[in-house]
Structure 1
């Protein structure tokens, strides 16, 4: 496979070739910060989030992997296509075009797991998708890169970081396996570990974001078109992933999960692949994109979480103004809806926001004198 777009017109865009004023020393420091922070964050997050995984639900996803299949379609079908269209649409410099395409072909990142937890997503599906996309990247990354660079005139070989993929998979599966075991043996303690891990993981995300902004402040003087793409690329991925999950009749909970998994890419894997494939003078122009993408995907994730929390609070206040009898009647109506409609209903909000009768006495109290549900206006 070839992988350098020199100055040939066959490459998707040959705009100006002037060098970008980015200092390489910033990337050395940034790489160290990202490597250490990523190792700590991945290990802690995967162990704590593994405490939310139930073996029965995880096995159900493996036996009937419809949600995983939709996620893989988004990851290796939608994201590489979006990257290619952005490259063509914005007429980028050749080295920048390669960096964006590599980012689009990378598997999902573990940062999506913590965002999925914060939006009450399907954690079993999220972790399954992250693991499966990492395994699939062994074959899908070189295949996608080969297909989308067939028409380009390239000189250097792209080196797929198979060792990095293996390490990522190991760092993902081992902590999750320990977390699943802890949840199975000590369910009460696992809930505490989950809350602490989610909080610490959020702090680490903020630390990585702030460190990236400070250490790579020189890169913000780079091409504004590149920064614009790094902002809209993950956002478009989130939206398109949600729509595709919705079109395949996934539940709202799974739609949120697939959306976050689609837009969140493995930044460290993209940086490693660029370092293995290109000389230092080209890396100066290339590494600004994965850095900016990583920061903006964190920003997009926090915005999605904030929007969901506001929606959940509004929904909770709306349900709180209803009487218990009316809420129970609405629950009965939803439970008798056909499968096609109930597939779109959110299970988590119903379970947490709609009170259910705890016994025969509660059910008797919810019934009126005539034996029918009484809804207070």
Structure 2
């Protein structure tokens, strides 16, 4: 469906008018790379990470979904608002502003699950958030777009890619469910699959980053859009972490929600752009989506490197202060604040840990 935004003056125009190329250089290659790459990543990575999910922990997230609710608030509250403020603050042209808003309204992507694993995040929460945000996107994407574009008064017909959302949802639920079953039946094999999947996911992230750099040689994108594609993921990570911290989530959940907020589903954004814009505008917007995907991967690598360096430093300090304590003593499961625990949960955890110690002593 076409998008006629060029003659609308309600959204602030960019002072630098530029001619848009009539055709994309090689849309088939770009589409093939991201279609195949996303299919492989979603299939393998989600199955392997499904092997890390325990049914009881997953059910606890669904039964007491504070983390999921905070994540959805970040995903469909903070990100669309951030997109609107960026589009207004940088005085984007109407069709550019809508593209940025579409990116902000997209649900979380699979890349977030890979990054969450490498920063020791809550994998159960991460997978739950990715799945739930994709389901909620069926209603929240059109709602957010309707609310924010009303202030621009654009004669714009946006097409929501319901089919792509459904395919994405199926590619999430099926491999994750199979992975959960494997973890339930064969826990030892599941650990091996998880390690392999984490490595494969890291390699695929690297491949996506390298492919993005190579493809960037032919990009003809407005410099303002490139700046926004660099800033946008960072703002999502920071605001997601702050909101999780202010709602008294654990440090592990704060890291998870932060990553889930900044990592968007690029494939859905590209699908919606292709359905809503003509080739005249699509060339810039398509490259904006690719740039966002590239920068969110690069930001992810930086976050992983910073966290791993911090983790090694803390372990080193622990060994110096407690030379007689093994390295396992350093690893402790984060505890939620009492504000988000139902009455009696803390007692159950304590009794469970005492029971484990007592059984261990009896065995000795």
TM-score band w.r.t. shorter chain: 0.7 to 0.9
Instruction: State the secondary structure of the residue aligned to 1:306.
Output: helix
Task: Determine if contact 1:51/1:179 at 8 Å carries over to the other structure.
Answer: yes
Q: State the shift of 1:280 in Å.
A: 1.0
d(CA) in 2 for partners of 1:336, 1:148: 38
| Structure 2 equivalent of residue 120 of structure 1 | 120
| Structure 2 equivalent of residue 317 of structure 1 | 316
Task: Determine if contact 1:26/1:215 at 8 Å carries over to the other structure.
Answer: no
d(CA) in 2 for partners of 1:92, 1:34: 26
| Structure 2 equivalent of residue 297 of structure 1 | 296
d(CA) in 2 for partners of 1:148, 1:42: 31
Q: State the shift of 1:285 in Å.
A: 2.1
| Structure 2 equivalent of residue 212 of structure 1 | 212
Instruction: State the secondary structure of the residue aligned to 1:149.
Output: helix
Segments of structure 1 that go 5 or more residues without pairing to the other structure are: 343-355, 362-377
Task: Kindly provide the CA deviation profile for residues 168-227 of structure 1, in whole angstroms up to 9, marking residues without a partner as x.
Answer: 0000000000000000000000011001111111111111221222124221x5322211
Go from structure 1 to structure 2 and tell me whether the alpha carbon gap of 1:12 and 1:358 turns closer, same or farther (over 3 Å shift).
farther
**TM-score for the superposition, normalised by structure 2:** 0.88
d(CA) in 2 for partners of 1:313, 1:23: 50
Rg bigger for which structure? 1
Alignment of 1:175-190 (within 5 A): 175-190=175-190
Go from structure 1 to structure 2 and tell me whether the alpha carbon gap of 1:12 and 1:314 turns closer, same or farther (over 3 Å shift).
same
Task: Determine if contact 2:250/2:337 at 8 Å carries over to the other structure.
Answer: no
| Structure 2 equivalent of residue 243 of structure 1 | 242
Task: Determine if contact 2:250/2:334 at 8 Å carries over to the other structure.
Answer: no
Alignment of 1:1-377 (within 5 A): 4-20=4-20, 24-219=24-219, 221-323=220-322, 339=338
Instruction: State the secondary structure of the residue aligned to 2:150.
Output: coil
d(CA) in 2 for partners of 1:307, 1:53: 25
- Across the two proteins, how many residue pairs are aligned to each other? 344
Task: Determine if contact 1:4/1:98 at 8 Å carries over to the other structure.
Answer: no
Q: State the shift of 1:7 in Å.
A: 2.7
Task: Determine if contact 2:107/2:265 at 8 Å carries over to the other structure.
Answer: yes
d(CA) in 1 for partners of 2:253, 2:291: 28
Go from structure 1 to structure 2 and tell me whether the alpha carbon gap of 1:340 and 1:319 turns closer, same or farther (over 3 Å shift).
farther
Instruction: State the secondary structure of the residue aligned to 1:73.
Output: helix
| Structure 1 equivalent of residue 352 of structure 2 | none
Task: Kindly provide the CA deviation profile for residues 110-145 of structure 1, in whole angstroms up to 9, marking residues without a partner as x.
Answer: 100010000000000000000000000000000000
Backbone CA RMSD of aligned residues: 2.8
| Structure 2 equivalent of residue 364 of structure 1 | none
Q: State the shift of 1:154 in Å.
A: 2.4
Task: Determine if contact 1:47/1:179 at 8 Å carries over to the other structure.
Answer: yes
d(CA) in 2 for partners of 1:337, 1:294: 32
d(CA) in 1 for partners of 2:265, 2:218: 23
d(CA) in 1 for partners of 2:299, 2:358: 39
